[in-house]
Structure 1
Amino acid sequence: MTTFPISLSANWQHTSQVSGLTATERDWLFEPHSLTAKLKSRSQNFSVKVLSEQTFDLSVEQQKLLSCTAVSALNREVILLCDDKPMVYAQSWLPDNKRQDKSHNPLLNMGNRPLGDVIFQDSQLVRTDIEIACFNSEHSLQQLVSQLNLSKQNLLGRRSVFSLREYKFLVCEVFLPGAYLYS
């Protein structure tokens, strides 16, 4: 049984430090626009399966990435599916902003909607540089891969911090075995 949140501890590297990627891997990992839109364009039926949505404490690293003093955040973990095939495991960390009215933050009430459908509609969205990591076949993320009946292999992921006005949040996306990235 998978325990949430799934740890995405890894050797995250800035794009300037990353080498040895294929053109296809670079195309997917460094996609500057909505990954959701890109996945939708390559499938007949796109869907989101919510695995977990709970409040957890932020790690010191996450607080540093988000430049925030918040101690907790809503952690949302989902699988993005194309034609019923798991393609991406995504994890978002939405800090608890005590000054913000939660009922007016659409990111805190997503349901089965993909985050990308909401955030990329806002012209004030700002994204930090994308960081890349490799998750080997021994990484704890592989437990989820096994539960999805996918073959264990090294996986590639990306993360970045987004800002909507003054609200910052962290998004991590890991491409699962069989994703378009590996074709």
Structure 2
Amino acid sequence: MTTFPLSLSANWLSDIQTDDLTPTEQEWLFEPHSLTAKLKSKATSFSVKVLSEQAFNLSHEQQQLLGCKTSSALNREVLLLCDNNPMVYAQSWLPNNQTHNSLHNMGERPLGDVIFQQPELVRQNIEITRFDSKHSLQNLVTQLNLPTQTLLGRRSVFSLNDYQFLVAEVFLPGAYLYS
């Protein structure tokens, strides 16, 4: 049984050598625009499955990344599915903020469909990492009946005016970047 939120503890790097990444992996990992839109363009059908949405206390590292003193946030975990196949596991940390609480009630709407419509959206550096076959994230992979393999992930801090939030996306076995 998988317990949420899943740990995404890893060695996240923004200055990474891309020599060991294929051109396709680089294209997907460093996509500057909406990953949701990119996935939708490759599939006949696209959907979001909410795994967990709960109040969460930000770690010291997350507070530093977000440049906030607030410790309480909404942690949202979803699967992005293309043609009913799980392609991406995504996790977002949305600090409590009266102005941007609309992002706290997304339901099965993709976060990317909302935030990339905002002209004031700014994305900071994309950091990437690898999750090896021993990482606890592999429990979800097993539960989804997918093969265990090293997974690639990316994360970014986004800003909407003065509101910052963190989004991490992990490409699951069978995702387009592995083809």
Deviations 1:18-44 (A, max 9, x none): 441000000000000000000000000
SS at match of 1:14: coil
Residue 53 (structure 2) pairs with residue 53 (structure 1):
yes
- For residue 25 of structure 2, what is the aligned residue in structure 1? 25
TM-score (norm 1): 0.95
After superposing on structure 2, the runs of 4+ consecutive aligned residues of structure 1 that deviate more than 2 Å are: 15-19
- For residue 95 of structure 1, what is the aligned residue in structure 2? 95
| 1:47 alignment partner AA | S
Residue 2 (structure 2) pairs with residue 2 (structure 1):
yes
| 2:141 alignment partner AA | V
Q: CA deviation at 1:105?
A: 2.8
- The alignment-based identity, stated in percent, is 73
| 1:157 alignment partner AA | G
Instruction: Note if contact 1:43-1:82 (Cα within 8 Å) is conserved in structure 2.
Output: yes
2:123 counterpart (116, 120, 127): 127
Cα distance in 1, alignment partners of residues 123 and 15 from structure 2: 14
Extract unaligned runs of 5+ from structure 2. Answer: none
How many pairs were matched up?
179
| 1:168 alignment partner AA | Q
Question: CA RMSD, aligned part only?
Answer: 1.0
Instruction: Note if contact 2:18-2:26 (Cα within 8 Å) is conserved in structure 1.
Output: no
Cα distance in 1, alignment partners of residues 60 and 155 from structure 2: 16
Instruction: Note if contact 1:15-1:130 (Cα within 8 Å) is conserved in structure 2.
Output: no
TM-score (norm 2): 0.97
Q: CA deviation at 1:16?
A: 4.2
Extract unaligned runs of 5+ from structure 1. Answer: none
Cα distance in 2, alignment partners of residues 40 and 182 from structure 1: 17
Cα distance in 2, alignment partners of residues 10 and 105 from structure 1: 29
Aligned counterparts, 1:11-160, within 5 A:
11-97=11-97, 100-101=98-99, 105-160=101-156
| 1:71 alignment partner AA | S
